[in-house]
Amino acid sequence: MRIAPPAPVFDANASAGGALGDLPEWDLSDLYAAPDAPEIARDMDWLEQECTAFAADFEGKLAGLDAVGMLACVERYEAIDRVAGRIMSYAGLRYYQNTMDASRAKFLSDCQDRITAATTPLVFFSLEFNRIADSAYEAVITADPALTRYKPVFDRMRAMRPYQLSDELEKFLHDQSVVGASAWNKLFDETVAGLGFEVGDEALGIEGTLNLLTDPDRTKREAAARALAEVFGANIKLFARVHNTLAKEKEIEDRWRKMPTPQTGRHLSNHVEPEVVEALRNAVVAAYPKLSHRYYALKAKWLGLDKLQVWDRNAPLPIEEPKTVGWDAAKATVMEAYSEFSPKMAEIAQPFFDKGWIDAGVKPGKAPGAFAHPTVTDVHPYVMLNYLGKPRDVMTLAHELGHGVHQVLAAGQGELLASTPLTLAETASVFGEMLTFRKLLAGATTPAQKKTLLAGKVEDMINTVVRQIAFYDFECKLHEARRGGELTPEDINEIWMSVQGESLGPVFEFMPGYETFWAYVPHFVHSPFYVYAYAFGDGLVNALYAVYEESGPGFQDKYFDMLKAGGSKHHKELLAPFGLDASDPAFWDKGLSMISGFIDELEAMED
């Protein structure tokens, strides 16, 4: 049940200033016209009444329902989920437009409080459903095709059977959630959005400061990195408190549920086997020397440095001409790449630009980074960017628009089946990036242009694969260490540094203060262990793109069928039409070989 707002995702590649053109803003009226719109009061009242009625009609009776009765029950549950999701999408998106606006924060909290209270009577549903005997479940769920289509949802729900608590404890956790993790999430969001950084003569927010890490001027990059370190250091006790509290809360709940590892809940929600994730993680870590270590050694050579500092990691190449990409040019680039793959893909993407489905500009108080939120299946997704004209911002647009296309296509599955596990949710976004990159590369007219594009893509892939697996290792170590007691800021700093040197390689030196750079990463707070989904998606898309290059015209239809499936199929079923299998350890080596191949090309340019 949707009682939490959409979570923002950082992309540290926005830039500052420039004549970017007319940047679009969200029109949220497709959800509700205003926070005081009568439709919100109407829907909230209906929600409260329907949740009570649902419990009265079905609590204690699920095991005795026939297929007709069970279908009616599921459809009513789905309708409740849709209305709750609509309200929380509106409140959450409006809040992320300006997290420093107290009235927006209050509106979000009030909605969350009321919906949490309203949906408490529904807690029985999953608990009671999971107590239905396997034979009875199979008999009823397969008796009617209209009900059978929901089987993937309930199979995933029943995977939680070994870990569910008593009805009373589950209701307590549901009620308590508004002052638990979600409250700490809001504290984190508001703290990060309110941070100020003095860089030279400029007073910047976090987006503008992170953007300077890609500036051609090395002194500006260094000044930005040191400003980040100073401000993170000044707030490190608060960030450590957030992480300590959330990790301990998770440890307590996992212990009560008898979850074997801190990662188990994420694997279950992602519908992915632990051994598949472990194979991915091991393949990436084993590839560090031929990926990040090798690439950054090349980059040091290009920059004329014996050692790289952290502010050099995303520096442009010396041969790269500073470039600001206006909004219209960014739109044209992405839409042309999408259209060349399939006119249908561009057709699905077009309304995002025309109908107020994108909020692109950087504004005071706006959540940093970028995300695509599907809202509910009878409305449409919304995309948030912090667009400031860097070439990498074009790739972010391609990425988030890919999510949006995926979400539009999956909406046909309905509210319970549209949501895609995180491991597959990155497929369309990374594929959209790859299409855009390949179009730009094909249009390169000089060796310098090709080298710049290849280097930029390799850096993006390293950030998506190597960096995110390093993040995953950091989280694994953090949660394991927290089980042994309270962690000081220095303890967390030490865990962070233990994965940074390993992943980035021996060419890096780390300035004093870099040990605090874990503090601003929102995934650790909002979605523990989310980050491996990025590496999963990148590896999957690399393999998928190789199939596309070798396939005939039928690939597009199979690709759209995969996106339309939403969360209705396991990754094995979705990838089988392409001859791919993510449970095969060799699968990940195929994906990583594409990154290695790009680095081979860059090395060849040195000869």
pLDDT above 70: residue 3: no
For tokens 């697996």, the residue is 469
Give domain status of residue 176, yes or no.
yes
Residue 382 main-chain phi, psi, to 5 deg: -125, 140
pLDDT digits (tens, 9 = 90+) for 276-292: 999 999 999 999 999 99
pLDDT at 552: 77
Give domain status of residue 456, yes or no.
no
**Better pLDDT: 373 or 392:** 373
Residue-range definition of the domain harbouring residue 481: 186-320+463-526
pLDDT digits (tens, 9 = 90+) for 490-516: 999 999 999 999 999 999 999 999 999
**Better pLDDT: 4 or 70:** 70
pLDDT at 78: 97
Torsion angle, alpha carbons of 591, 597, 599, 604, to 10:
180
Query: In Å, what is the CA distance from 427 to each residue of 409, 470, 540, 555?
Result: 13, 20, 7, 15
> CA-based angle 266:271:274, to the nearest 5?
65
Please state which of the ranges 105-114, 163-172, 380-389 shows the lowest mean pLDDT: 163-172
pLDDT above 70: residue 391: yes
The arithmetic mean of pLDDT across residues 144-161, rounded, is 93
Same domain, 208 and 163: no
pLDDT at 422: 77
Same domain, 58 and 144: yes
Give domain status of residue 65, yes or no.
yes
pLDDT at 602: 94
Q: What is the CATH number of the domain that holds 291?
A: 1.10.1370.20
pLDDT at 12: 32
Sequence length of the chain is: 607
pLDDT at 323: 83
**Better pLDDT: 581 or 77:** 77
Q: What is the mean pLDDT of the chain?
A: 92
Is residue 315 within 8 Å of 303, Cβ to Cβ?
yes
Nearest to 362, CA basis, from 6, 11, 5, 4: 11
pLDDT above 50: residue 483: yes
Give domain status of residue 208, yes or no.
yes
pLDDT at 8: 44
pLDDT at 14: 34
Give domain status of residue 450, yes or no.
no
The pLDDT confidence band at residue 176, using thresholds 50, 70 and 90, is confident
Give domain status of residue 282, yes or no.
yes
Q: What percent of the chain stands above pLDDT 70?
A: 97
Q: Coil, helix or strand for 308?
A: strand
pLDDT above 70: residue 4: no
| Encoded amino acid at 329, one letter | A
The arithmetic mean of pLDDT across residues 191-198, rounded, is 93
Give domain status of residue 455, yes or no.
no
pLDDT at 15: 34
Same domain, 141 and 169: yes
Same domain, 249 and 346: no
Give domain status of residue 9, yes or no.
no
pLDDT at 2: 47
Same domain, 414 and 542: yes
Structure tokens at 533: 């989904």
pLDDT digits (tens, 9 = 90+) for 413-471: 999 999 988 778 889 999 999 999 999 999 888 998 899 999 999 999 999 899 999 99
Please state which of the ranges 332-341, 375-384, 554-563, 582-591 shows the lowest mean pLDDT: 582-591
Same domain, 480 and 556: no
pLDDT above 50: residue 517: yes
Q: Coil, helix or strand for 203?
A: strand
pLDDT above 50: residue 545: yes
Query: In Å, what is the CA distance from 342 to each residue of 364, 438, 559?
Result: 38, 14, 11
Same domain, 115 and 62: yes
pLDDT above 70: residue 7: no
Number of domains in the chain: 3
Q: What percent of the chain stands above pLDDT 90?
A: 78
What is d(CA 580, CA 587) in angstroms, rounded to the nearest whole number? 8
Same domain, 397 and 470: no
For tokens 């500092």, the residue is 309
Domain final residue, candidates 136, 151, 183: 183
pLDDT above 90: residue 51: yes
The arithmetic mean of pLDDT across residues 142-146, rounded, is 96
Long-range CB contacts for residues 138-144, cutoff 8 Å, separation at least 24: 140/65, 140/66, 140/67, 140/70, 141/70, 143/66, 143/67, 144/67, 144/68, 144/71
Residue 319 contacts by C-beta under 8 Å, 6 or more apart in sequence? 302, 448, 451, 452
